[in-house]
Amino acid sequence: MKHDAIIELLDAASIGKKVTVCGWVRTFRNETFLAVNDGSTIKNLQLVIDREKTDEALRKRLTTGAAICASGELVASKGQGQSTEVLVEHIEVLGDADPEKFPIQMKRHTMDFLREKAHLRFRTSTFGAVFRIRHGMTFAVHKYFNDRGFYNLHTPIITASDAEGAGEMFRVTSLDLNALPKNDEGKIDFREDFFGKETNLTVSGQLEAELGAMALGKVYTFGPTFRAENSNTSRHLAEFWMIEPEVAFADIRDNMDLAEDFMKYLLQYALDHYADDLSFLEQREQNEEKDKPQNERNEMSLTERLRFVIDNQFERITYTQAIDLLRNSKPYKKNKFKYPVEWGVDLQSEHERYLVEKHFKRPVIITDYPATIKAFYMRQNDDQKTVAAMDVLVPGIGEIIGGSQREERLEKLVEKCAAFGIPEEHVWWYLDTRRFGSAVHAGFGMGFERLIMFVTGMTNIRDVIPFPRTPLNAEF
């Protein structure tokens, strides 16, 4: 069906042309002014209907959510709020939306309500803006790496290894769960399973990305990852997308520089290309916050927060310094933290957010965590206690990136595997890169949905992915 995208019809350049518009009705005022959106932009196009020439039965069908196609002349608008409008000569309703039944009406819906209607929530301005920006950020990720000589590597989704060693994996099997084959010891015989061994959905593409980096130099993965962690928080999904660059001949300092530059590039890209959507989301956030107590409101507007990350150098501190700072902080002394602050214990979101939002008031990179709380592949520091890990923390979210310099020394890595209970025969291929032409290398993983939360100001991760997967929820 030949038609014009609304985004092309909003400026004066097209005035005087005969145009055809297809989209969904947002509102119909005074039986004359029809606001239509086709997803190409957050803005609606106004169609002016001639009451006399359009029969009543048709007018009654122009309800919120109905799909229409209309043609007419594009003229300069006399009304306020838009520069152009269409004088409709012909209009057709392609699909009705019964106002008694269509759940997305032109009023304020709660995010909870819209999550239950995730198949229709794209029809709202908010979700239109979020998913246009999500697309834009996907494109910007590929552009950033392509422009800098990185190769995109498709790492497997089904894997036999647990990269993060956290044991939070979803099993993949073709065995009949009601008639499982058993071995002599009475345990499930996975030799009879599809792959002849136990397999899972990947928690990270990193281990395979490292193999690629040790030949292609600079690679990145950008794919879905899966974690069966039962954390029902506003920042965790069971299925999320992760971007994982991996660079040969790079140490942790190079890794931090890359993470900071990458983050700033993406936010600048959003500001440069998604101004209309961002300004809508900023306004939306301000409206939402009117109902919140002063201390829960953002000190900065959405665009101010983006600029704040772009314009400030990230603070870089070690985990040990972070623990000292936290133990000397007011909330610690006043017993305000829920979780303990002790050397050797992982930082919680409340600690991370304190450091970023209250103490440094800028993005923070924390490095050199205790070896015991990080994954087996991180490079051991000379103190024997810490590893060359790095977490990047931003306001409102906490950890957005986690990464490290990798252990490139074979003996150390073999020791680590033993200490973490990883059988060498499971990771022989990973160890091989340390056997043959091993080199210093580093990389990180950015949670794509956490990025989208930061860029859009959405406060629940379920609202930045089309169909969220969380505990007890796999609808749609």
Q: Which of residues 295-354 bind ligand 4AD (CB under 6 A)?
A: none
Q: In 3-state terms, what secondary structure has residue 350? A: helix
Main-chain phi, psi angles of 240, to 5 degrees: -140, 170
Q: Which of residues 136-195 bind ligand 4AD (CB under 6 A)?
A: 163-164
- The CB-of-270 to ligand 4AD minimum distance in angstroms stands at 17
Which of these ranges, 23-31, 41-49, 154-162, 445-453, lies near ligand 4AD under the rule CB under 6 A? Answer: 445-453
* Contact between 447 and Mg ion per CB under 5 A: no
Side chain identity, residue 124: T
Are residues 356 and 364 in contact, defined by beta-carbon separation less than 8 angstroms? yes
For ligand 4AD, the binding residue among 363, 402, 457, 468 (CB under 6 A) is 402
Q: Which regions of 11-156 does DSSP assign to beta strands (E)?
A: 18-29, 33-37, 45-48, 67-76, 84-95, 151-152
Which of these ranges, 9-17, 27-35, 95-103, 398-406, lies near ligand 4AD under the rule CB under 6 A? Answer: 398-406
* Contact between 206 and ligand 4AD per CB under 6 A: yes
Question: What whole-number distance in Å separates Cα of residue 258 and Cα of residue 254?
Answer: 6
Which of these ranges, 6-14, 139-147, 237-245, 418-426, lies near ligand 4AD under the rule CB under 6 A? Answer: 237-245
Q: From the list ligand 4AD, Mg ion, none, pick the one residue 445 interacts with, judged by a Cβ distance below 5 to 8 Å according to partner type.
A: ligand 4AD
Cα distances (angstroms) measured from residue 466 to each of 40, 42, 117, 401 = 17, 17, 11, 22
For Mg ion, the binding residue among 23, 212, 223, 402 (CB under 5 A) is 402
Q: Which regions of 346-430 does DSSP assign to beta strands (E)?
A: 364-370, 386-394, 398-405
Question: What whole-number distance in Å separates Cα of residue 395 and Cα of residue 401?
Answer: 13
Name which of 72 and 402 has its Cβ closer to ligand 4AD: 402
Indicate the helix (H) or strand (E) that contains 277: helix 275-289
* Contact between 443 and ligand 4AD per CB under 6 A: yes
Which of these ranges, 302-310, 342-350, 355-363, 393-401, lies near ligand 4AD under the rule CB under 6 A? Answer: 393-401
Instruction: Please give the angle made by the CA atoms of 462, 466 and 468, to the nearest 5 degrees.
Output: 40
Which of these ranges, 60-68, 232-240, 331-339, 350-358, lies near ligand 4AD under the rule CB under 6 A? Answer: 232-240
Residue 76 token pair:
């300069």
Which of these ranges, 112-120, 151-159, 185-193, 397-405, lies near ligand 4AD under the rule CB under 6 A? Answer: 397-405
- Neighbouring CB atoms inside 10 A of 194's CB total 12
- The CB-of-391 to Mg ion minimum distance in angstroms stands at 6
Q: Is 159 left (phi over 0), alpha (psi -120 to 50) or beta?
A: beta
Strand partners, 37: 24
For ligand 4AD, the binding residue among 444, 452, 453, 465 (CB under 6 A) is 444
* Contact between 403 and ligand 4AD per CB under 6 A: yes
For ligand 4AD, the binding residue among 134, 351, 450, 462 (CB under 6 A) is 450
Main-chain phi, psi angles of 150, to 5 degrees: -90, 150
- The CB-of-453 to Mg ion minimum distance in angstroms stands at 16
Are residues 63 and 99 in contact, defined by beta-carbon separation less than 8 angstroms? yes
Q: From the list Mg ion, ligand 4AD, none, pick the one residue 401 interacts with, judged by a Cβ distance below 5 to 8 Å according to partner type.
A: ligand 4AD
Site string for Mg ion, 41-60 (x = CB under 5 A): --------------------
Applying CB under 5 A, the site for Mg ion has a residue count of 1
Cα distances (angstroms) measured from residue 33 to each of 3, 47, 63, 126, 132 = 20, 6, 12, 22, 26
Cα distances (angstroms) measured from residue 124 to each of 36, 38, 106, 231 = 12, 11, 9, 28
Q: From the list ligand 4AD, Mg ion, none, pick the one residue 85 interacts with, judged by a Cβ distance below 5 to 8 Å according to partner type.
A: none
DSSP label of 449 = H
For ligand 4AD, the binding residue among 4, 38, 85, 244 (CB under 6 A) is 244
- The CB-of-250 to ligand 4AD minimum distance in angstroms stands at 12
For ligand 4AD, the binding residue among 6, 68, 104, 401 (CB under 6 A) is 401
Indicate the helix (H) or strand (E) that contains 136: helix 125-147
Question: What whole-number distance in Å separates Cα of residue 37 and Cα of residue 5?
Answer: 10
* Contact between 118 and ligand 4AD per CB under 6 A: no
Applying CB under 6 A, the site for ligand 4AD has a residue count of 23
* Contact between 240 and ligand 4AD per CB under 6 A: yes
* Contact between 236 and ligand 4AD per CB under 6 A: yes
Side chain identity, residue 227: R
Q: From the list ligand 4AD, Mg ion, none, pick the one residue 377 interacts with, judged by a Cβ distance below 5 to 8 Å according to partner type.
A: none
Q: Which residues bind ligand 4AD (CB under 6 A)?
A: 163-164, 204, 206, 227, 229, 236-237, 240, 242, 244, 399-404, 443-445, 447, 449-450
Q: Which residues bind Mg ion (CB under 5 A)?
A: 402
